[in-house]
A and B are shown apart, each in its own frame.
Chain A
Amino acid sequence: MNDALLNVAGVTVRAGDRALLSEVSFQARAGERLALLGPNGAGKSTLMRALAGDLTPDAGTVTLQGRPLPDWPLAELARRRSVMLQHTPMGFPVRVDEVVALGLPGRRRGNAGDALVGQLLDRFGVAHLRGRAYPSLSGGEQQRVHLARVLAQVWETPRPRLLLLDESTSALDPAQQYRVLATLAALAEQGDYLIVLVCHDLPLAHAFASRVLMLDQGRLLADDTPARVLTPERLAAVYGLRSRWLDHPDGPVLHVEGALARSPDGEVPHRALP
């Protein structure tokens, strides 16, 4: 036994002949903030689905607190891991506080007047929207409402808890992105949460994560601190991006300068920035 909250061992997922994930293995503890990076089609979403327990890998296992995901009863799993999907369309005129109340645990679920609803909306700076119709919100506001809902689901569970966030801040403006991620990072740092965040914004991933997992074509290319993973060489190889590290009083900052005129495999990018 070890103290890993999440243990991913040799996970392989195939779709027909194609491997969406090939023998992905890593472990993570509560308190860690993982950024899952990689170009489109790298297997990030597939890995998130495997971590959430939505799909059973063709090979390998995912265990949470030492227990394989398929062995968790649905309701018990829901008390320990919470998932925010990329898209959560709602067809009904639901109110913001009602959306958050859908995440409340046990018999409290659905009670929009619950104190925790206001508290979590406040934490993400959207308490003033609680009476609004969810469909009338902007994309960024909707994402913050869902973050409150996803947290409500596991807020009062004994720690540790797993948060899986799939591009959960993509619709926020840059300042809000940093603010929301700082809020989440603070929760993780207290040792209560392991957060896995899928992200496309490399500097943001660097600012948020304690550890970066780089996926490419279904393989885990790198798993280390942001500074060690996000090297100019690797970003050029994986994304075809030109980048460098800048010195800053608070520590080095990743600066993405643009796409390479020609990616390493010789393909011409759609549009090369100057």
Chain B
Amino acid sequence: MRAAEPRRWPVAPTLAALAGLLALGMVIAALAGPFSVAPATLWRGVWEGGEQPGYLVVRDLRLPRILMAALVGAALASTGAALQGLFRNPLADPGLIGISAGAALGAVSVIVLGGGALGDQALPVAAFAGALITTLLMWRIASRGGETRVALLLLAGIAIGAIAMALTGVLTFLADDNELRTLTFWAMGSLAHSRWSDVALVAPWLLAGIVLMPLLARPLNGLMLGEQAALHLGHAVPRAKRAVMVLGAVSVGAAVAAAGQISFVGLVAPHLVRLLIGVDHRWLIPGAAALGAVLTVLADTLARTLVAPAELPIGLVMALLGGPFFLVLLLRRHGV
């Protein structure tokens, strides 16, 4: 049952609490792991030089990885919130509707076939192109005649995801051993290889999505009433739609280039934030970004501590946590 009188937490304190939660989560993540780090070591490792093993673990391994997890989670969750507004459907997750699979296909093509003249940026650019093409495809299939068709959206997402995975599989056959190891990482999602150089490569793209997406909040709010009603309210709907799709593709493309496919964070974070502070995208998008960062940092911490010294792919951890959540959401929507 949905509550007849939805409660709303005050926006500013809730957003501040989410930001605090993110800071706390990042500290816990930096301390946790097979190599135990004392709080004092963490402090000095961040702010002072020095080559002690503890400092090195913190500075060169954990910090870039945590930062990458936070950025990837924030980008995926704010994209999820915006796509859900665009498709007028709380189940539109970039992973579930095939966009991440498209981005992965783009990235894998570069790994196997080479990136040509683009150099290091070839990977994020190809992932972006794959994400953009799938987003446009999803849009054309699912929103004919102004109405988004929910069932069609999810089913087409499965189909497009399957096609992209099949094409990825074909490329896998062409790959050599070295490339194969990299490819495995795409299949399940992992932040294990995040170094500062990787952060520098994709952070601008991820930040673009995180920072710019909230600027589209007003038209997204209008779109809750449908495309035609949003136009009647004076919102530049076609422009807003294009902007959400391009920014979403940039975010998801960069996230997939950095960490492979991580599903459900784009679904779970916006949903929880909507329960807390409501549906106004002006607060929903930044709130979802903060919570998405928290969830991804924590999932990554579980991924590298649960079976230490081995590691689980974060995509698996997220799916194990998010899958049941998604099922409950579906069942509740249909009144079971």
Q: Does B228 contact A103, Cβ atoms closer than 8 Å?
A: no
Q: Does A136 contact B4, Cβ atoms closer than 8 Å?
A: yes
Q: Does A95 contact B232, Cβ atoms closer than 8 Å?
A: no
Q: Does A133 contact B5, Cβ atoms closer than 8 Å?
A: yes
Least CB distance from A9 to B in Å reads 22
How far does the alpha carbon of A225 sit from the alpha carbon of B38 in the complex, in Å? Answer: 86
A274 within 8 Å of B by Cβ? no
* A25-65 Cβ-contact flags toward B at 8 Å (1 or 0): 00000000000000000000000000010100000000000
Known: A95-B8, A132-B4. A78 touches B233 (CB 8 A): yes
A161 within 8 Å of B by Cβ? no
Shortest Cβ distance from B91 into A: residue? A91
B3 within 8 Å of A by Cβ? yes
Residues of B within 8 A of A109 (CB): 218, 221
* B191-235 Cβ-contact flags toward A at 8 Å (1 or 0): 000000000000000000000000000100110111011011111
Known: A110-B280, A133-B2. A88 touches B221 (CB 8 A): no
Q: Does A93 contact B233, Cβ atoms closer than 8 Å?
A: no
How far does the alpha carbon of A88 sit from the alpha carbon of B218 in the complex, in Å? Answer: 18
Shortest Cβ distance from A109 into B: residue? B218
Q: Does A77 contact B234, Cβ atoms closer than 8 Å?
A: yes
Known: A91-B224, A110-B221. A102 touches B5 (CB 8 A): no
* B249-293 Cβ-contact flags toward A at 8 Å (1 or 0): 000000000000000000000000010001110100000000000
How far does the alpha carbon of A78 sit from the alpha carbon of B236 in the complex, in Å? Answer: 11
* Option from B6, B224, B235, B236 in Cβ contact (under 8 Å) with A90: B224
Residues of A within 8 A of B88 (CB): 91-92
Known: A78-B233, A82-B232, A85-B226. A94 touches B279 (CB 8 A): yes
Shortest Cβ distance from B233 into A: residue? A78
Q: Does B233 contact A103, Cβ atoms closer than 8 Å?
A: yes
Known: A83-B232, A110-B282, A135-B2. A92 touches B226 (CB 8 A): no
Residues of A within 8 A of B274 (CB): 92-93
Q: Does A89 contact B236, Cβ atoms closer than 8 Å?
A: no
* A111-143 Cβ-contact flags toward B at 8 Å (1 or 0): 000000000000000000001110110000000
Interface-central residue, B224, B229, B232, B236, by most chain A CB under 10 Å: B232
Least CB distance from A151 to B in Å reads 13
B89 within 8 Å of A by Cβ? yes
How far does the alpha carbon of A153 sit from the alpha carbon of B234 in the complex, in Å? Answer: 10
Residues of A within 8 A of B225 (CB): 88, 90, 99, 102
Residues of B within 8 A of A93 (CB): 2-3, 6, 274, 279
Least CB distance from B282 to A in Å reads 7
Known: A91-B89, A133-B5. A98 touches B279 (CB 8 A): yes
A74 within 8 Å of B by Cβ? yes
Residues of B within 8 A of A98 (CB): 278-280
B90 within 8 Å of A by Cβ? yes
Within A62-84, the residues touching B (CB, 8 Å) are 74-79, 82-83
Shortest Cβ distance from B230 into A: residue? A102
Q: Does A88 contact B229, Cβ atoms closer than 8 Å?
A: yes
Least CB distance from A15 to B in Å reads 14
Q: Does B2 contact A74, Cβ atoms closer than 8 Å?
A: no
Residues of B within 8 A of A92 (CB): 88, 90, 224, 274, 279
How far does the alpha carbon of A135 sit from the alpha carbon of B279 in the complex, in Å? Answer: 13
Q: Does A132 contact B5, Cβ atoms closer than 8 Å?
A: yes
Least CB distance from A101 to B in Å reads 9
Least CB distance from A242 to B in Å reads 37
Interface-central residue, B225, B235, B280, by most chain A CB under 10 Å: B225
Q: Does A74 contact B224, Cβ atoms closer than 8 Å?
A: no
Residues of A within 8 A of B279 (CB): 92-94, 98
Residues of B within 8 A of A135 (CB): 2
* Option from A52, A74, A76, A88 in Cβ contact (under 8 Å) with B235: A74
Q: Does A54 contact B231, Cβ atoms closer than 8 Å?
A: yes
Residues of A within 8 A of B4 (CB): 132-133, 136
* Option from A52, A99, A110 in Cβ contact (under 8 Å) with B232: A52
Q: Does B234 contact A102, Cβ atoms closer than 8 Å?
A: no
* B73-98 Cβ-contact flags toward A at 8 Å (1 or 0): 00000000000000011100000000
Q: Does A75 contact B234, Cβ atoms closer than 8 Å?
A: yes
How far does the alpha carbon of A99 sit from the alpha carbon of B88 in the complex, in Å? Answer: 15
Residues of B within 8 A of A76 (CB): 234
How far does the alpha carbon of A77 sit from the alpha carbon of B5 in the complex, in Å? Answer: 34
How far does the alpha carbon of A83 sit from the alpha carbon of B225 in the complex, in Å? Answer: 12
Residues of B within 8 A of A103 (CB): 233
Residues of A within 8 A of B278 (CB): 94-95, 98
Interface-central residue, A88, A102, A132, by most chain B CB under 10 Å: A102
Q: Does A133 contact B226, Cβ atoms closer than 8 Å?
A: no
Least CB distance from A125 to B in Å reads 19
How far does the alpha carbon of A135 sit from the alpha carbon of B282 in the complex, in Å? Answer: 22
Given contacts A85-B228, A93-B6, A94-B224, 6 further A-B contacts (CB under 8 A): A82-B232, A90-B225, A93-B274, A102-B222, A109-B218, A110-B282
Query: What are 9 A-B pairs with beta-carbon distances under 8 A?
Result: A52-B232, A77-B234, A85-B229, A85-B232, A95-B5, A98-B280, A103-B233, A110-B280, A110-B282
